[in-house]
Amino acid sequence: MAHDITFGGMENACAELILRGRSSVDFTVVSTTLRPDLRELVSWHRVGVVRRPFPLKFLHFFFAASVAIRRLRGDLVHTVGAIVPNSVDIISVQHCQAGVRYRTGGLATPGMTSLRRLNSALGRSLALAAERWCYRQERVRVLAASSNEVAHEVATYYSGPPVILTPNGVDSGRFAPSADVRDKVRRANGVRHDDVVVLFLGGDWDRKGLRIAIEGLATAERQVPGRLVLWVVGRGNQERFRLLSEQVHVGKRVRFFRSPSDVVGFYQAADIFVLPSIYEGFSLPALEAAACGLPVVGTKVGIVEELVGAEEAGIIVDRNPQTVGDALSRLSGDAELRTSMGKCARDRAVGFTWERSVESVLGVYTQLLSESSKPTSAPIAAAGTGTPEGTAAC
């Protein structure tokens, strides 16, 4: 669990499971890192691995963590993704690598530089091989998917183990509209009164479609000049995408922010959330944006279509600059439409609670213990592992 980042579906889901489930579960965590505030709540077994390159980091953890798990005693073993070769009880699947490969048409996301394509291809090849090994009936009792789309992909590509739905959630008290924060953040960043701020948030900019978002902004700029501003929040190759924004003549309309310790203010200060992604397992940022009352402009990935519906809470777009630009242009010129869509987005997002998410996982624990003829009142030591990115799970 990356200790200095607050956004990320896998990290947040693990943290919430520990925080909300620790009254009935004794957690043992096997990981490379763990958020400081969680360390006193669990028994933590740290696995040191090389930092890079990613393929070597993946293999290092895959085998080192398997040794650690074999030495531990627990009623259940719960991992996040296909990250150890051991037989386990439950694997949480936040995204399906086989689904990613199908969507991207290969082992690397289109648009990457040559070096990144090589690194991505090697890493994804390893992840796919791990999925084929781990997602077999003789290796895992239950696969817990984060969304209906992921559940469908896992059932399609890996027949055998039962697949259940354990969706992520959002803290709708924290992620909520705030006029005061909105005004403060916009003033601090020089946003004019009539500017419409479009928010792009997350990492892996090629997969999430930052190029398309920037080119879409350029398309919209030709339709509604001087109205839209794009905020890019997250880690990525700023120089490359800043150059792109200059090339399409929107350099002054795009601003980059490195990963902050708290992203809520960016949601609260924005007007529209954009996600022209090629693949998302769940997309926690889209849910958080919706909870903050932002209409979502995105492709049919993760839970975006479920949130947006028939354009009640945003606009579904194809993954190309023209449709993104048309959507941004339409929303930028209609404040009432943004408000009504944002309200619907908020109403739908609040149904995804962390309480329900954690209860769904704990329910699986109880069922698996019952099937194993173990007393359900016994504490569970869930030995978790680090994700392929080397962050903690639970």
**pLDDT over 50 at 387, yes or no:** no
**pLDDT over 50 at 2, yes or no:** no
**pLDDT over 50 at 383, yes or no:** no
Residue 259's pLDDT is what?
A: 77
Looking at residues 381-386, what average pLDDT do you find?
A: 42
**pLDDT over 90 at 18, yes or no:** yes
> What confidence category does residue 380 fall into, taking pLDDT thresholds of 50, 70 and 90?
very low
**pLDDT over 80 at 371, yes or no:** yes
Q: Map out the domains of the chain with their CATH numbers.
A: 9-169+353-384 (3.40.50.2000), 179-349 (3.40.50.2000)
Distance CA 176, CA 289 (A): 9
**pLDDT over 70 at 6, yes or no:** no
Q: Are strands 381-384 and 228-233 parallel, antiparallel or unpaired?
A: unpaired
> What confidence category does residue 106 fall into, taking pLDDT thresholds of 50, 70 and 90?
confident
Looking at residues 52-58, what average pLDDT do you find?
A: 89
Query: In this predicted structure, which of 82-91, 255-264, 274-283 has the lowest mean pLDDT?
Result: 255-264
Residue 374's pLDDT is what?
A: 55
Distance CA 333, CA 382 (A): 51
Residue 340's pLDDT is what?
A: 98
Residue 24's pLDDT is what?
A: 92
pLDDT, tens digit (0-9, with 9 covering 90-100), for 329-365: 999 999 999 999 999 999 999 999 999 999 999 999 9
Q: How many CB atoms lie within 10 A of CB 44?
A: 17
| This model's pTM is above 0.75 | yes
Query: In this predicted structure, which of 199-208, 235-244, 256-265 has the lowest mean pLDDT?
Result: 256-265
Look over the chain and give the mean of its residue pLDDT values, rounded to a whole number.
Answer: 90
**pLDDT over 90 at 197, yes or no:** yes
Residue 391's pLDDT is what?
A: 33
Residue 258's pLDDT is what?
A: 86
pLDDT, tens digit (0-9, with 9 covering 90-100), for 212-242: 999 999 999 999 999 999 999 999 999 999 9
Of the chain, the percentage scoring pLDDT greater than 90 comes to 80
Residue 394's pLDDT is what?
A: 36
